[in-house]
Every structure is written in structure tokens, then in C-alpha cells.
Chains A and B, each alone.
Chain A
């Protein structure tokens, strides 16, 4: 794949996530197909697109409740994601997980998580198991900037470093810990610097550039696989939407969203491709194919039956 092809593939992959999120938002606001709390990652598409290409089938990815994009980039079908959000029997978890708790181990996607920071120690365990089962597994866990202030996160970072486990800790720093700015909640706003304190590698990465993310993740995955231990990556990005659908975003700072829209990954890569002379039709094709796929997936998802209430009590115990 040459450089232009790869960048077009990235654009298409980011458009798939953007189209999925916009469709989910439409269904959440416009009707009753999707109810409840939904956390979108619009503006943060470069992270999952750049990172997931570096994971192998045996690697384990753990995401957060803002994880639709990570699930899609890891290979979870859009139809299963939308169906799950809409409480369908065909959802990836048959309606038990909802927007915030997809789990699809068959795709190496071992769960979103609604508890801030909880995925970090779980990923440590996935890497730990790899010491014994011979899978050569790398575990990647994604969290937000606020999650790094959870106690469980500190414990996980320390244990991974102490045991030199192959874990890639990906922090998506979108500046907002839910509704509160991260820079008011930490003494050192460069979160990647914490890595040194734990004795692990760390880096701050342009999180709106899928290629920069890919390069950093590749290095971290190789480090983990070769016994070099964990890595903390801080992806600098921004969400163009609220913490959840319905968030009135009164906390936004003047001019913030305007600047964020200029830096957001899809507009940026589109502009770069156009400036490089890539035909407009190729750029448009990346967008239109993604939108068409998501429309088909949504139609199929919403045509599926609702999850059967008769099954609501199944699977509590073995």
C-alpha cells in the first residue's frame, strides 16, 4: 500500500466511525430506538484507527464507555454495535451491554467499561495470563485523561511496570474529565510524564493523526512483545461533542470548539489529501462508502427483533 492509499484507508476508517456515531446520535435524539446514556467519540477517530492496525488477533483490547470507535476499528461489525445500542437480540451482547459495555471477545475486543479506570488492571491481567499461556499477547487498554487519576489506574501502571508486562496504556487526553478540565485536576498536565515515575516508556502523541498514533503504538507493541514492558501513550485529541448526548457543554472555553474543528482528524486529513492532489472523487469515495455501510448496518440492526425479555435472567451464573 503506498502512502496515498494508506491515508485514504485511514480516512475511510475514520469516516466509518464518524458515520456510526452520527447515526447513533440521530437514533438517540430523533426517536426511541436508542435510549439512555450514550458517549460519542466524534473528533477522536484517529486514535482507534491508528492503533488497532497494530494489534494481532490474540491481542486483547479494553476500552471505555466512549468505545464505539475502538470496537469498530477492532473489527466488531457496525450492525452488531447499532443493534446493541438499540436493545436488539442481534446486538453484540443481546442488549445486556448497551452503548457503554460492548464485549466481543471473538474480535479481540474484551469490553468497554462504564467504571472510569477499571479497564487498566484488567488489561494487566490479560497480559499476565500471556506469560503462562504462550499466546504472546499484548494487552491494550484505553482510558481518558480523567481515568489516570483513579487509584486503580495507578495500581495497574505500577504492577505492569514492576512485572514488565506487555501492556499498552493508551490515554485519550481530550482535555475534559467528563465535564471538568483536566488541567484543573492535576498538578502536571503532561500526563505522559507519569510513565517515568512508574519506570515505563511514555510519549505524548498527536492523537488527531492516525499515522502518528500508528507509529507510536507500533513501537509500544514491539516493546511489549520483546519483553521491554509497558508503555503509556498520551494521545492529544478533542471531542467535538458533549460528554454524553444531551450534555449542554456550558463548560466549554471561548473559541475552544472552533479551534478543535480546525484540528479534527477527518477535516485535517481531507485537507491534506486535497492539497497533495489526490482526486476529489477518491476522497469522496472514502466518505460515501462509509456512510452507505453504516446506513445498511443501521437498517439491518433496526429490522432485528428486540431482545427477548424471557432471557433477561439468563447467564448470571455458569
Chain B
């Protein structure tokens, strides 16, 4: 930490399109935000000088100086200080290195950040942005592989996004930092080092809550989010060869969630499958199914929830592969419901 510092002037975003990997798109978004939002701060464990354990924040301290810094291994202090800084008007963007680590400091998210606006009737909101990552990668263990979005989605007052593409990884962060709610952005480390894609880095901040119709189809609506949405899309492509046209709706945001798109699609196809990497019990897929049912949309087949079984995630890659949703089994489940 510096002894003294001064606030920079805002810089307008530069209209630019670049070919970037997912992790690079996050980095580009952070650079843009530090430039265009003078009150923004970026900090967390190893994000400053080391540039992040996945290299996502590399180069930002060199470019933006003291506004990018490292912290002790203290998740409660990271999240709590973000709340306090936000109450004073700062725009903290903090990293929780692995989503699993947020559990040691949930108080600051659930009792503090989510509560501040409500009790003060808007006088003292805590618009923090928490970046974290989850998901399974080969060799990870049970405390580094959990999909925890449903835990946080139960909390009124928090926003949550799970971008899958490089463009969404960029756009979600820009939307989050420009929003006045506490936002949790759950990235996925299995995506950080994937293929490069064209990313528009200059677009205006979008309102939270968008989704993508990744594939149109008449036979079944498949709702998915996060990295596993790629598996759902692959499953849909394979089903097309068997004459089943699945509509794949990818939710970038889970709160606010684009229920209008889900309901419209389910009403069209009259079949519904949800696919998430998290285990099934209490998952957000159950919420999607319940809301479709509550909307009174009649379905021609019982809805299907596809996710990990209710197990711990094993370390060995072969064991993990046996429990995580993959395109083949997803396609088989959907095929079974469409012929039912």
C-alpha cells in the first residue's frame, strides 16, 4: 500500500476490437474500468504485483499503480473492506481467488453488502464487485471445484453473473462496475486459457440481466449457464443429427435473470431441461423449473434437471469426469424426454 496517492481523471473507453482469450478479456475489462472509473480500486490476494494466480490481473498494477494492490490472505478483510470502501463512495473490485474461499467470509456478502442499501433506504449502498472463479479443472480437489452460485442466489440484495464467453466476461464486469448493486461475477477457470475470440472492448455499459439464445429449436428448451453451457450446446448439436431440435438459452446473469426469455422459449417448445455444473439439490435449475411451473406453462414432458449428483467433487480427473455433466449424457437425457 502507498502512503499517499491521488485520484486519476476518467478516460473514455476506446472503441476497439481484439482477439482475446477469456482471461485476457477479463484483464482488458479491468484495465478499461480502472481507466474510466476514477473511484475504482482493484485488490485481493496476489492480484497486484504477481498479477493473479491465473495471470488475469497481469500488468494492471504497473499501469494503474497504487489502485491495484495485494492483500493479506484474509477474505473477511477483503470483502469487509470492500463494503467499507464502497460506503465511502469508492468502487472496489475485489478478487476471491477461488469461489470456495468466499465461504470463510460469507458474513460480509450476505449480512453486510446485501443489507446495506435496504436498511438505509438507499442512503448507504455498498456497490462492490466481487470477482471469483469456480468449476472443475483436472487435478483440482473438492475444496477447489465447487459450483456455489445457488448459495449466493438465495440472498436478496446480491447480483450474480456467470459469463462463459470472452465477450461476456468483458461485458459483465463493465456492467457490474457501473451498476449500483453488489455484484458477484463468477468466472470459470477452465475457460481462462481457451481459444481467442473477437471481443469488442469499447461498448457502452449494458443493463444487467441479458441472456443469449445460442441455438433455436422447436422441440425442447435447454437452459444453462457457466462453462457447462458449452456442453449443453454441444449436446444440442449432436441431437440435431438425430432429428431433435433443442433451443439453447444461455443465461449470462442469474440475478437479474432473464425469465422472460426462459418462459417464452418453454411456452414454444413445451419441454424444459436445465443444465448446470452444480449438484442438483437446491440448485438454481430447480428455481428455473419452479418459475416455469408457476407461470402456468403446460409442458408435454416432465422437466429435467441435469447437474452433478449430490456428491463431493473428487480430485482424480477420471472420477470427476464421472460426476460432472458432459455433452454425451446431457444429450441422452434430453433425447429421452423428447421421445417420452
Q: Which of A105, A162, A165, A317 contacts B87 (CB 8 A)?
A: A105
12 A–B contacts, CB within 8 A, in A order: A103-B116, A106-B123, A111-B116, A118-B80, A121-B108, A124-B80, A124-B84, A159-B72, A164-B1, A315-B120, A317-B157, A317-B181
Most chain-B CB neighbours within 10 Å: which of A105, A129, A314?
A129
Q: List B contacts of A164 (CB < 8 A).
A: 1, 3
Contact between B77 and A121 (Cβ–Cβ < 8 Å)? yes
Q: Which of B41, B66, B67, B121 contacts A315 (CB 8 A)?
A: B121
Considering the chains assembled together, what is the distance between the CA atoms of A124 and B85 in angstroms?
A: 8
Q: Which residue of the partner chain B has the closest CB to A131? A: B5
Contact between A159 and B77 (Cβ–Cβ < 8 Å)? yes
The verdict on A137 contacting chain B, using a C-beta distance below 8 Å, is yes
In the assembled complex, how far is the CB of residue B181 from the closest CB belonging to chain A, in whole angstroms?
A: 5
Contact between A121 and B79 (Cβ–Cβ < 8 Å)? yes
Considering the chains assembled together, what is the distance between the CA atoms of A124 and B41 in angstroms?
A: 14
Contact between B111 and A126 (Cβ–Cβ < 8 Å)? no
Most chain-A CB neighbours within 10 Å: which of B79, B86, B120?
B120
Q: List B contacts of A123 (CB < 8 A).
A: 84
Contact between A318 and B125 (Cβ–Cβ < 8 Å)? yes
Q: List A contacts of B107 (CB < 8 A).
A: 115, 118, 152
Per the CB 8 Å criterion, the residue count for chain B at the interface is 53
Contact between B84 and A129 (Cβ–Cβ < 8 Å)? yes
- CB contacts under 8 Å to A, within B42-74, are 66-67, 71-72, 74
- CB contacts under 8 Å to A, within B85-116, are 85-90, 92, 104-105, 107-108, 111-112, 116
Contact between A227 and B3 (Cβ–Cβ < 8 Å)? yes
Proximity bits, A137-167, B CB within 8 Å = 1, else 0: 1010000000000011001101100111100
The verdict on B243 contacting chain A, using a C-beta distance below 8 Å, is no
Considering the chains assembled together, what is the distance between the CA atoms of A152 and B86 in angstroms?
A: 18
Considering the chains assembled together, what is the distance between the CA atoms of A132 and B89 in angstroms?
A: 10
Contact between A103 and B123 (Cβ–Cβ < 8 Å)? yes
Q: List B contacts of A256 (CB < 8 A).
A: none
Q: Which residue of the partner chain B has the closest CB to A122? A: B84
Contact between B4 and A158 (Cβ–Cβ < 8 Å)? no
Q: Which residue of the partner chain B has the closest CB to A152? A: B76
Considering the chains assembled together, what is the distance between the CA atoms of A125 and B104 in angstroms?
A: 18
The verdict on B137 contacting chain A, using a C-beta distance below 8 Å, is no
Interface size, A (range): 35 or more
Q: List A contacts of B89 (CB < 8 A).
A: 129, 133
In the assembled complex, how far is the CB of residue A103 from the closest CB belonging to chain B, in whole angstroms?
A: 5
In the assembled complex, how far is the CB of residue A197 from the closest CB belonging to chain B, in whole angstroms?
A: 14
Q: List A contacts of B189 (CB < 8 A).
A: none
The verdict on A276 contacting chain B, using a C-beta distance below 8 Å, is no
Q: List B contacts of A318 (CB < 8 A).
A: 117, 122, 125, 127, 179-181
Known: A111-B124, A134-B7, A159-B77. A316 touches B117 (CB 8 A): yes
Considering the chains assembled together, what is the distance between the CA atoms of A62 and B126 in angstroms?
A: 15
Q: List B contacts of A130 (CB < 8 A).
A: 88
The verdict on B193 contacting chain A, using a C-beta distance below 8 Å, is no
Contact between A110 and B71 (Cβ–Cβ < 8 Å)? no
Known: A129-B90, A130-B88. A156 touches B80 (CB 8 A): yes
Q: List B contacts of A227 (CB < 8 A).
A: 3
